[in-house]
Structure 1
Amino acid sequence: MSDPKFRAAVDRTTRRLVHESSIEMTPAYVSTTRRRPDALPPGTTVFITWLTGMPFGPTLAACHTIRQWGCVPVPHLPVRAITDLPMLQMIAQAVTQELQTDRVLLIAGGGATPAGCFADTVAVLRTRVLQDCGIRRIYVAGHPEGSPVMTPEEALSFLRMKQDIGQKDGLDIRIVSQLCFDPSPLLQWERGLRDNGIILPVHVGLPGLISPRMLVRYGLKCGVGQSLQFLKGQRHRLHRWFWPGAPEQVIQPVARAVAGDGNSLFQGFHFFPFGAVARTLGWREASGRP
């Protein structure tokens, strides 16, 4: 039996990490929600997507609404959707001056062919446009089970470049991981980051309370192969439509890692609800209570 003090520490860590977790929403969801959901506490960090083929306007408008709700908006900036340097400057100024926030999620974005001159996030960071406009916290993507477009060595090299730029420019760069269903590759990946000199805080991507079909569909798209095998092995735990046990499968091992290792890079959780926003928020509120 484990140490009661350690179990208590894990419980406290679990509640804290869940309570402080962020969540992702689409502009469409925000625009059709008349008021802040009761289960969304003021101060919550809310990421707003910028969907492929759409203008930035709906994302910016949704971020304004999130700000009015008393929450902290984090707009997605998929660099392959940005056509040129003036567009990047316009967006960065809108984020800092209109939204009065200094946070963005900087990702490569979908599509094999960039819309303009930016093919990857490092290229944007090297322009110093975000830094010069006052953006200080930049979330970037992490791939515990590998990226569909990069080798593990290439992914590690990009993280190292971002970390170096962040240290040079005084940025708070944080990793938001791809969806995780299985804690084993996640824990191995975090240890590998530390072994290779990466010290960026990690926010673990978790699924919302959605159907197994949607989880598998997204998993296939993102290439989380080991997690899909884990998901198949847990079929006996699946409800017909929802998978309410999914978050705990990853949350508990992460909380144990944080409680037992002061050098852990894990700093929080980030929920991808895929439309099940209200259900995910309700679970998050109940599980994060003191």
Structure 2
Amino acid sequence: MSTRTQRLRDYLTHARFEVLPLRGVVEQARYLPASTTVTVTSSPTKGVDATLDTAARLRDEGFHAVPHLAARMITDRAHLSELVDRCARWGLSEVFVVAGDAQSPAGEFPDSLSLLRAMDELGIRPSRVGITGYPETHAFISDAATIQATDEKSRYADYIVSQICYDPDTIASWVKALRARGVTLPVHIGAPGAVDPTKLLRISMKIGLGDSMRFLRKQHGVVTKLLSRYTPENLFDELSPYIVDDAYGIVGWHLFTFNEITKTQQCLQDMAARMQEVPA
């Protein structure tokens, strides 16, 4: 097996899995290999405690658990310090900072950048911190503001996970633009796992993937028909040349499972098994 093929297989076998803190998720996660990185989302409906509690249970199961800290759900610096302290006590050495889905901030943190700055000023930064990047137009933020925010957030982070994007060329161009601006953080490519197509369509529309949806229509005619054909393998194959090109600094996959954990892991196993020797 060539070094290139082995590298691509390694990305499959070491993918990160994102889950929702819902009932039964820890039991489902037991299907994953030991020490898999599992990130836990944070939402206004479940609250930050559900996120941390689920992450702690996953950590106890032997996974590298990463709770999301949603800025708009944290009231003030005292609350932030308490959450970070709880993470440390529970052996959660890494966090993923997001703005969050709350319509209005609960306190002094309207966005992820303000939370990152506060952690830095308070001297309570965990060992590793991840942030989100947007390969295409954000639903609510201008391109210029998104670029500026990403560049500023990168000063406080260790890696970036890209938001869902179905167009491999857009993803590659975005990473290339990051590097041109001097952002050198490793990038994990965010992609849906083996998710029910109806759910995937609903989520894609909710998060405002305008450019991606237009790309899908152009490529396949009808969005719902295309999404019914979506598998991580399609995107993986298209991005393979960039993944193995060190200039892009792509270090792996981040699968948004929406708790379709078993199906997503089985999909990755099948992909690895089918992977053929590719000429270097």
Please report the TM-score for the alignment, with normalisation by the length of structure 1: 0.85
Checking the alignment, whether the CA contact within 8 Å between 2:137 and 2:211 is kept in structure 1 is no
Q: How does 1:183-262 map to 2 (within 5 A)?
A: 183-232=168-217, 233-234=219-220, 243=229, 245-259=230-244, 261-262=245-246
Task: Number of aligned residue pairs: give it.
Answer: 273
SS in 2 for 1:147: coil
Q: Counterpart of 2:99 in structure 1: which amino acid? A: A
CA deviations over 1:163-198 (Å, ceiling 9, x no partner) = 23x3xxxxx521111112220111111111111111
The unaligned stretches of length 5 or more in structure 2 are 276-280
Q: Counterpart of 1:224 in structure 2: which amino acid? A: L
Q: Counterpart of 1:135 in structure 2: which amino acid? A: P
Checking the alignment, whether the CA contact within 8 Å between 1:180 and 1:250 is kept in structure 2 is no
Q: Per the alignment, do residues 32 and 46 of structure 1 end up closer, same or farther by CA in structure 2, a change over 3 Å counting?
A: closer
The unaligned stretches of length 5 or more in structure 1 are 167-171
Partners of 2:122 and 2:240 in 1: how far apart?
33
SS in 2 for 1:140: strand
1:160 is aligned to 151
1:70 is aligned to 62
Partners of 1:20 and 1:235 in 2: how far apart?
34
Counterpart of 2:30 (choices 15, 28, 37) is 37
2:278 is aligned to none
**Deviation (angstroms), 1:257:** 1.1
2:252 is aligned to 268
**Deviation (angstroms), 1:161:** 1.4
Q: Per the alignment, do residues 197 and 242 of structure 1 end up closer, same or farther by CA in structure 2, a change over 3 Å counting?
A: same
Q: Counterpart of 1:204 in structure 2: which amino acid? A: I
**Deviation (angstroms), 1:74:** 0.5
1:142 is aligned to 133
Q: Matched residues, percent identical? A: 26
Q: What's the RMSD between the two structures over aligned residues?
A: 2.6
Partners of 2:62 and 2:121 in 1: how far apart?
24
**Deviation (angstroms), 1:56:** 2.1
Partners of 1:93 and 1:220 in 2: how far apart?
36
CA deviations over 1:114-149 (Å, ceiling 9, x no partner) = 111101122112223697335021111111012122
**Deviation (angstroms), 1:36:** 4.7
2:102 is aligned to 111
Checking the alignment, whether the CA contact within 8 Å between 1:47 and 1:76 is kept in structure 2 is yes
SS in 1 for 2:158: strand
Once superposed, which parts of structure 1, at least 4 consecutive aligned residues long, lie more than 6 Å away?
235-241
Q: Per the alignment, do residues 209 and 122 of structure 1 end up closer, same or farther by CA in structure 2, a change over 3 Å counting?
A: same
1:57 is aligned to 49
SS in 2 for 1:74: strand
CA deviations over 1:2-33 (Å, ceiling 9, x no partner) = xxx9xx4442222111111101112214x455
